Structure formats: structure tokens, C-alpha cells
Structure 1
Amino acid sequence: MAAVDWSTLPLDLLGDIAMKLETLEDFIYFSAVCTSWKRVSSLIKHQWKPTVPWLLLAENTSNNPHCVRKIFSPSNNKCYKLNLPEYFGAKCWGSDYGWVAMVDRNFNVRLFNPITKAEIHFPSVKTIPDRPIHEEVHEVTEEEYITWIVGCFLIRLIVLKASETEFVIAVIYGNYDHLAFAKQGDKSWTSVFVKQWYPHIKMFDIVAMDGYVFALYNDASLVYWNITDFQGHELVYPMDYSLSKLEMIKEFRRGLGELYLVQSGCDLLMVLRFKKEVSRLDVDYETFSFSVYRLDPKDRRWEEIKDHATLFVGRSSTMSVSATCLQPNCIYFTDDEDDLTPPGQGGHDMGVYDMKREKKWRFYEGDDIRSVFNTPIWFIPQL
């Protein structure tokens, strides 16, 4: 039998094959096969989207003159290196749109693509409502003030897609009790009305789904807004969507843990992450289990589930992935204990948790120093 000349395959067939690739590595290997395959990859690269995220690891802040930052790929358990001098020293949050949100020490806010280096600029942190100015924070140096604002005061930056070409950034800040947003081209941030039940009820995460923005509180309650309301310049009020409280949430709030809100296909999931209790001087904290709940929109209740797509969680980014190269019913998690980590320590609580077998394992053992200003983040790479 004569050998097949793969370079002569029809371009439309090659395009269909390339569109089914799941990882950026496979797409790059595909484009390197021959001239015709490279041509096809060039034609479709703006339509093709990988499904498997990368983990942008914490910066090595010592003996790193070229500002190299490592990226871990869970599909092949390999680390790659990127030179990112333009963004070195900034606090970053990931997304599944190919962009990473960042705030630098000058309070500039940008979306940037780590692969192409493209940027989208947003209003400065200085225009966020209710931000304490340096003069109001007594006995704090300017350097300490900058670290506190970017590393602690800004809790989460979430990238929302308002349309095919327009992005909105929402920021949870303060004591988990303030929310603001800005879209491309805005000059300042706009406040969002945050529904308050009790002083200890805090907003933990938000996500955009089906034209709405949902916010999750640490008592398992939800509120939501229409995403079009996040494109104006007026105070936005939520629509009521309070849910029955879960009994286990009471125990969850007493211990150490995190809550995440994740869109998975047509479902809205709540992920509970449980960690053993530690003192503030003890860095030996450890995640030991997860629980996943699906929102029943008809009854407005959370129901626990065991079968779901692969989930990626962390305070800096959450996402759901359906990929054949990854195990289903597993949760990939990053270290996100900012307030429990002494300077120069932390970053070790990263791994994979198998929901079926109720077992976990670490997926990366590195020497990267993690701090409140420097956390590992999930993001979907995009060419």
C-alpha cells in the first residue's frame, strides 16, 4: 500500500481537524507539520479556541533579570517559560477568554494576552468608588499602601464578556462588600449596589451567564443583574434571587475554605473547597475535599452533584472545561490563601481532586515564591 501524503489533504478537511484540537500545544504542533498545514492554521487561528487552560505560576522575584514567568500545562504536565517584563510585579487575575487582567503598582488596569502581548486599557484603580486614599491610612508608607490596595483591598477582578467584541471588568473589593465595574473606553469605575443581609455575609464570586451577572455570597445566596446594565454609568441595582441556605454552609464559614461560582455548559455550579484549620503563622494549610452543587433554577435551590466536567478553581480564576485529554469529575485548584501566608511563603496548596475516588494529588512542585501580590492564575491561552 502506498504511503499517504498528508500534505495533500483538502484544506477544508484539515481545517475541520484543526478545529477539534483541544490544547495550544497540539495546535502549534499541527501548524509545524508542513506548509499546507501551517497555512490552514493561519487561516483559522482566530476562530479556533483551546479548551484546556494554562496555569501562570507565581513570579520568581529573585535572580530573574529577564522577568521570566513559568506556565504549567495540565494536559501534558510540562512547564513553559514566557518573558513578561511589561507585566512583571503586577497582580493578575485569569479568564477563559484568552486575557489576563492585571493591576500594576501605578494602579493601571489592563487586560493583556500573554501570548500575543495585545492589551486593552481600563480606568485606573484611583477612580474606584470608596477607595481609601493614602492620607486616610495612618502610619503606613506609600509602598505599604500600594501593596495593601492592590494585594488586599482588590479581592477579585472578573473578566465578563458583554458582547463578541466588548469586555467588562467587575471588581470585588473592600471587605468583600463592594462591587464596581468598568467597560472598555470608560474614564472611571461605576458602583454596583450590593445586597446586604447581615454584616458577616460577604460576596465571594461573580460570573456572567445567559446575559446576566450572578453574584454568590458565602451563605449560598445569589443575586443577579442584567449584563446590559453593566454598560452604563449609573448605580446598578440587583434583581432579587435569594436562595434557601444550606446547613453545611454554617459549618463551612466557621472553618477555612473558599466558595467559587462556575458556569458549566447550561448549568451554574457552586464549588465549596474545604481546608484544615490553621493559625495565621502556620503555612501548613491544606485542601482536603470539595463539594459541588448545581443550581435548580425552577426551585431556586442548590442540589449536590457528583458528575460534572473538569473544573478549574482559584480566587484569581474559575472555569469549567470539557476536554478528552483531562479526567472528568476532577477539580484542579490553586493556592489562594492570601491572608494566611507570611511574606515569602505559600504557594504549595495546588493539586487535583478526584470527586469519584475522593483522592487528591499535587500537579506541580516548584520553588516559586507566592505572596498577596503574586498568585498563580488559570487562563485559557489564545492566539
Structure 2
Amino acid sequence: MAPNWSTLPLDLLTAVAFNLESFEDFIYFSLVCRSWNRASSSIKHIWRAKPEVPWLLLVENTKDNPDCVRKMLNIDNENKCYRWNLPETFGGRCWGSPYGWVAMAKLDLSVQLFNPITKATISFPSLETLPYLPKNTPAYNNERRDYYHSCLSGFLTKLIVLKVSQNDHRHEFVIMIIYDFHRRLAFARHGDPSWTSVLIKETTSVRIFDVVAMDNHVYAIYDDAAIAYWEIKEFFGFELVKPMDYLPGDPETFNDLYIDQIKVYLIQSNTDLLMVLRSKVHVSNADNTNYDYDIVYRTNDFEIFKLNHIDKDWENVEDLGDVALFVGDNSSMSVSVADDAKCLQPSCIYFTDDESGSWLTPREFGGHDMGVFDFKTNDILRFYEGDDTRSFFCTPTWFIPQF
């Protein structure tokens, strides 16, 4: 007689589940039967995959897709693609994070954190409470939907998900928004009635490219590679105060940051703060016969710099070691590549297409600029060419799946 695996003791099943290494195996384990599901559910709040590798939430498919299915790509499992029913993510923009959550800004200007695995949500203030939101416009008064489109595409640059500590050793999530054509900065927590502007020190420029939380501080980078940083006061949960210091930029070295073809990302990698510069080129259709469009853009190079806190300058990085970076329309991530990683490569940058402006009309070809940059050889391997049946301004984004 075959053994009845569902009658195994709960403590034994829990021990087995806790030692599973991949997110897929943990999910499959929970689906076997009720007792196995009960064992996995009891530990899923503390269980983590080994290693934690980002998945790629691909673009919406609005053609012949009544169930609102979106694909999620696991690059560490031979680019295995999962189909997930996620109607909640349709009709807006998404930005991923390392914490299992995806930040969503919808066409009604509502903002939420959404977990694609558990479908849990956390609500944040409406974008209509943002300071400097341009409401006195014909689009706002007459064509509200067009106004919302404009806000989510041109007015809203990026949502960054930060995880900050509180004084009782708990954590809460904070969303920081880079918005407005001047790239201003604001933040909000769950339960806040509105978004709060962040005070910034006067500089040669106030345009902010990216934000990251690290070592009880929040760092913001400007378009001249200048850094401002604030202390997170744990006693108050999360409070931004005046910048404790300011690292001047280097216009002579970083003057190309003003050019649209340069993307800038801030990333915490172990104890280092990295600035990643991504350069793009535009190529004609004559060189790309697979496309029906006259001009397409391609990422062609990356540069990495490490912040030297003592000398207050940027140092060039020539090798990432056993680290892989993930950049795109998300909170940028750094992952240590374990020896048992299946397909993840060290000293590489995995990048997705984050040109939201290229998705504004059906004639534009967005979503194609995705690949892996090998920092040792400077070679780029394209791993996904995008899906042109996407909806308005939808871009692919990295997130690390968690319960």
C-alpha cells in the first residue's frame, strides 16, 4: 500500500518546507494537499528563497486576454514564464521592489502597493494630493481621462518603494515619488492623508534621478551626480529632516547626465552605494529588419561608480564580483549570486525597458530594450524582445517575489 503523505506530522512537513530553496518549489509544496498547505502557511512569513532572485513582471496583454493574465519571467530558471491572473495591475503603471510589493499608480490617480503572489494591497494617498500638481489646465477641466494619462506618463517619473525600521523593531513601507517636470521629491506612508514634499538643499539643479534607503539614511541623486542625504529618525517612525550633508556634483565628469539617452540609478550593494549610468543609442530600421518602425533605441553601455564617503567623491567600479544588479522601471536591486544559482550570472547588469514615453501611441515600439550586460566582457545578451500588445504606458518591471 502506498504511503499517505498527507498524514505526515506537521512539524516534519514544516521542516521540509522551510528547507525548500526556490519560490516555485515552495508554491508547489503548498498545493499538494491541505496539510502541506497548512505547514507552508505557518512559516511563509519567515521563509525566503535561496537566493532571492527578481522575477520580471512583463507588460500587459490587452488583446484576446479576457482573464487579464500577465506573464512573470524567472530568469534563474531558464527564463521560465508563469501566467498569473492579475486584473488589479491593468490600467496603470507599475514599479517593482525587492520586498515582494509592486507600487501601482492607476488611471484614477490612486496609489497602492500590491503583492502579485498573495494579491494583498496597501493603500496610499491619491496623486491628486501631490504638491504642484497642474490642475488648472484644459485637460483637467474638460478631458479628465487625457489629464490622467498625462499625469501617469509625463508628470510622474518614478515610484520608489522603501522599507524603513521603526523603534519597536518593526518595519513599514514608504513610497517616494519623483514627479513634475522639475523632478521634485515627495513621500507618503499608509494612512497619510496626502503626499509630503521633501525639503532639498539649494543646488545648481534640483532635478532628482533616483532615491534609495541605506544605513538609516535616505539618499537622493541629482542630474549632476550630486548627493543629498537625510537621516531617518527611528523614534518618529519615518521623518525626513534637513540634509545632514551634501556631496557636490562633478559637472565636468558627469555633464552627460543631462542628455536624455543617459539613465541614472542608485543601488545599495552590500555596504556600498552605487551609481549606475546606462547609455542608449538610436538606430535606424535599416539595421533592424525585424522591426516595423523607423527608429528604435538600444542600451549600448553601462558605467558604475561607488560613493567614497570619506573623500566625498565617486570612484569608478571595474568589477562587481559575485553581485548582479537589476535596473529598469523599479526600485533598483542588488543580488549576491550564490554558488547554487541556476542561471543567474555574477558581475552582470540585468536591465529592462523603462522608456515609458515610448508606449504613448500604438506606433511607438516600447518594451524591446531588455537584456543582460556582462561587466567583464562589455557584451550584451538580449533575453526578451517585448510584447507589442501592451496597454498604455505599461513597462516591464523587476520584483522579488515574497509572501
TM-score (norm 2): 0.83
Shift of 1:257: 1.6
Distance in 1, matches of 2:386 and 2:259, equals: 31
Give the structure 2 partner of residue 224 of structure 1: 229
Residues 232 and 140 (structure 1), Cα distance of their counterparts in 2 relative to 1, 3 Å cut: farther
**Candidates 360, 363, 370, aligned match of 2:383:** 363
Whether 1:183 aligns to 2:184 is: no
Whether 1:351 aligns to 2:400 is: no
| Amino acid aligned to 1:354 | D
Shift of 1:13: 6.1
Give the structure 2 partner of residue 261 of structure 1: 266
Distance in 1, matches of 2:361 and 2:153, equals: 12
Give the structure 2 partner of residue 312 of structure 1: 326
Give the structure 1 partner of residue 336 of structure 2: 322
Say how many residue pairs are matched: 373
| Amino acid aligned to 1:258 | K
Distance in 1, matches of 2:358 and 2:393, equals: 13
Residues 145 and 33 (structure 1), Cα distance of their counterparts in 2 relative to 1, 3 Å cut: closer
| Amino acid aligned to 2:218 | V
Distance in 2, matches of 1:327 and 1:192, equals: 37
Give the structure 2 partner of residue 72 of structure 1: 73
Shift of 1:282: 5.3
**Candidates 310, 320, 325, aligned match of 1:298:** 310
Match of 2:393, SS?
coil
Give the structure 2 partner of residue 98 of structure 1: 100
Shift of 1:283: 4.0
Residues 139 and 315 (structure 1), Cα distance of their counterparts in 2 relative to 1, 3 Å cut: same
Most deviating of 173-182 and 204-213:
173-182
Matches within 5 A, 1:33-44: 41-44=40-43
TM-score (norm 1): 0.87
Give the structure 1 partner of residue 289 of structure 2: none
Most deviating of 310-319 and 352-361:
310-319
| Amino acid aligned to 1:210 | D
Shift of 1:63: 2.2
Contact 1:252 1:274 in 2 (8 A): no
Contact 2:233 2:239 in 1 (8 A): no
Shift of 1:214: 0.3
Matches within 5 A, 1:141-156: 141-156=143-158
Give the structure 2 partner of residue 378 of structure 1: 398
Contact 1:176 1:202 in 2 (8 A): yes
Contact 2:124 2:189 in 1 (8 A): yes
Whether 1:289 aligns to 2:301 is: yes
**Candidates 339, 348, 373, aligned match of 2:357:** 339
| Amino acid aligned to 2:220 | A
Deviations 1:153-210 (A, max 9, x none): 11111111122331111101002431111111111111112334235x6210000011
Unaligned runs of 5+ in 1: none
Shift of 1:14: 3.9
Distance in 1, matches of 2:355 and 2:142, equals: 23
Distance in 2, matches of 1:291 and 1:64, equals: 39
Shift of 1:237: 3.0
| Amino acid aligned to 1:52 | V
Shift of 1:367: 2.5
Shift of 1:138: 7.9
Unaligned runs of 5+ in 2: 285-292
Identity value in percent: 51
Contact 1:71 1:80 in 2 (8 A): yes
Give the structure 1 partner of residue 290 of structure 2: none
Give the structure 1 partner of residue 216 of structure 2: 211
Question: What is the aligned-residue RMSD (CA, Å)?
Answer: 3.0
Match of 1:284, SS?
strand
Deviations 1:208-256 (A, max 9, x none): 0111110011211100112239968998532332145164422353461
Matches within 5 A, 1:88-127: 88-127=90-129
Contact 2:73 2:81 in 1 (8 A): yes
Distance in 2, matches of 1:255 and 1:104, equals: 26
| Amino acid aligned to 1:214 | Y
Give the structure 2 partner of residue 63 of structure 1: 64
| Amino acid aligned to 1:363 | F
